[in-house]
Amino acid sequence: MRCPFCHHDETQVVETRESDEGGVIRRRRRCTRCEKRFTTYERVEIALPAVVKKDGARVEFDLAKIRASMHLALHKRSVSVEQVEAAIERIQDKLLATGAREVPSTRVGELVMRELKRLDKVAYVRFASVYKQFEDVDEFRQLIRDI
């Protein structure tokens, strides 16, 4: 770790502590050249893949968008917040497990639909009807038959 004061490349760890229930490591360091002390923090960085939209645009993965769309589909349905959060975590885990740097938005939509289908069939139909952009009633009927 480089010293923020004199920019020397060698520093010594003087003290190490866990904080934030083990999610962060706090280290007190001392520069071997100027002897000044400073603190660094280590955190796990989750690198979710970028989402490639249908038009080719690349956007940062946003869990808030997933959460909002699921809550909208689940409006007035008897599904707990804990169940929704667990579903969102499963979606995130599946995306992380791919190891891909980019994922098509259609893949994200499919994962959301799969989780909604597990949670609540009505919410699944609500989401799918918007996501799949049904043009007529026959497509909608077919979706319901498939369930």
- Per-residue pLDDT tens digits for 40-51: 999 887 788 999
Q: Is residue 34 part of a domain?
A: yes
Q: In this structure, what is the dihedral angle of CA atoms 71, 74, 77, 79, given to the nearest 10 degrees?
A: -70
Q: What's the rounded Cα separation, in Å, for the pair 134 and 147?
A: 16
Question: If pLDDT is split at 50, 70 and 90, which confidence band does 111 have?
Answer: very high
Q: Is residue 28 part of a domain?
A: yes
136 and 74 inside one domain = yes
What is the span of the domain harbouring residue 99?
A: 50-146
Residue 131 has pLDDT above 80, yes or no: no
Sign of CA dihedral 113, 107, 99, 26: negative
58 and 94 inside one domain = yes
Residue that has been written with the tokens 């069939």 in this structure: 121
Q: Is residue 2 part of a domain?
A: no
Residue 110 has pLDDT above 70, yes or no: yes
72 and 126 inside one domain = yes
Q: Six-digit token pair at 127?
A: 């989401």
127 and 65 inside one domain = yes
17 and 71 inside one domain = no
Residue that has been written with the tokens 């609540």 in this structure: 120
Q: Is residue 118 part of a domain?
A: yes
Distances (CA, A) of 8 to 13, 26, 37: 14, 20, 13
- Are 15 and 28 contacting, i.e. CB atoms less than 8 angstroms apart? yes
